[in-house]
Amino acid sequence: MMLKEAGNAGLSRTLVSWDIPPARNFTPERGPPVMPLPRRFIPSFTSLMAFEATARNLSFSQAAKELALSQGAISKHVRQLEELLGVVLLQRTRRQVLITEEGTLYLKEVRELISRLEQSTHSMLASGGSSTVLNLAVLPSFATKWLIPRLPRFHSEWRRITVNLATRPVPFAFDYERFDSAIHYGSPHWPGTVATHLFDETVVAVASPIYCRELKLEVPRDIERATLLQQATRPSLWIDWLDSLGISLRQPYTGPMIDQFTMSVEAAAAGLGVALVPEFLVADELASGRLTLLFDYRYKAQHGYYLVTPVGKMNNPTVKCFTEWLKAECRS
């Protein structure tokens, strides 16, 4: 429901509105199909760019400079967009440009559209026009410490395949993302996909050698004297580790919260506390002596790492090549 008042040139401005879920949220399983608009109601991309630049800068002149158009052309494109939509997106005064409530809502959608086009164009430019592109969602620390150092071997074998990487720390809907596969930690159950097991995870407690000596961390019970570096993506990790040793602490969740395992590794090396991390992430640091493995104890985590691929892409030749290579790397 919405109430409107008259605006310029027969346009209207919303005073009160009730939020209605956007049509793009409906799927064949969740709601009725969305019928496409006739093409004459689809605005030109130039008009959308003109509106986005003007709304972002709150200035027609700045938008004109940015898009290399005249100020009059920018104003005309925005006006045509408003007439097509039947609402006022921008309020013009003698000294400033203000964005309306409708303009704010529409701007968010326009920015998402422009961003998707930019990403698609960049991806096409990066691939050099090759059709053999693999768009892979990855876990940040896994990609940095394990996958990327091994990718040169993949490229030496499959020179025509371009692998694009983007981080996705939690499961997502493949239908709304431009990914062919994802490397995932957790359960193998991901609707609409096939999960290929890569390897299980072994978690170790690590700290700097100086920190270990200063706090005399010699047996697991000594951990109560240490600062526990908390992993934001695994909030129960310390509890699980302590339970596996039969240790109970009064405040196992107390300690600095850190977002990524790679940052936890650096925090431990800097002497900020003890970190629980997958052993494969700290192989180099343990070998060099930069970090010390505490108590010679390795905890086998409940879950593992998987390569997850939508069912419809399992026969994609590029995906199959990468899957077989990755499985071989994990076995070696």
For residue 127, the model assigns a pLDDT of 56
- How confident is the model over 205-230, as a mean pLDDT? 94
pLDDT higher at 237 or 13: 237
Q: How confident is the model at residue 279 (pLDDT cuts 50, 70, 90)?
A: very high
Q: How confident is the model at residue 1 (pLDDT cuts 50, 70, 90)?
A: very low
Contacts of 168 (CB under 8 A, 6+ apart): 137, 138, 139, 177, 179, 182
For residue 81, pLDDT beyond 70: yes
The 8 Å CB, 24+ separation contacts for 152-156 are 153/325, 153/329, 154/322, 154/325
Nearest to 307 by CA among 283, 329, 278: 329
This prediction's pTM: 0.64
To the nearest whole number, what is the mean pLDDT of the chain?
A: 85
The residue with tokens 């990066």 is: 126
At 98, the amino acid letter reads L
For residue 140, pLDDT beyond 70: yes
For residue 15, the model assigns a pLDDT of 33
For residue 217, pLDDT beyond 90: yes
Q: Report the C-alpha gap between 200 and 187 in whole angstroms.
A: 11
For residue 93, pLDDT beyond 50: yes
At 89, the amino acid letter reads L
For residue 26, pLDDT beyond 50: no
- How confident is the model over 260-264, as a mean pLDDT? 93
Q: How confident is the model at residue 123 (pLDDT cuts 50, 70, 90)?
A: low
For residue 237, the model assigns a pLDDT of 93
For residue 160, pLDDT beyond 90: no
String of DSSP letters for 46-76: HHHHHHHHHHHHT-HHHHHHHHT--HHHHHH
Pure H helices in the chain: 45-57, 60-67, 71-85, 101-127, 140-142, 148-157, 209-215, 237-244, 261-269, 283-288, 317-331
For residue 41, the model assigns a pLDDT of 81
Percent of the chain predicted with pLDDT > 70: 86
For residue 131, the model assigns a pLDDT of 54
Structure tokens at 291: 């970090």
111-120, 177-186, 238-247: least confidently modelled range = 111-120
Domains in the chain, please, with CATH? 2-125 (1.10.10.10), 131-332 (3.40.190.290)
For residue 204, pLDDT beyond 50: yes
For residue 34, the model assigns a pLDDT of 53
Q: Report the C-alpha gap between 280 and 142 in whole angstroms.
A: 9
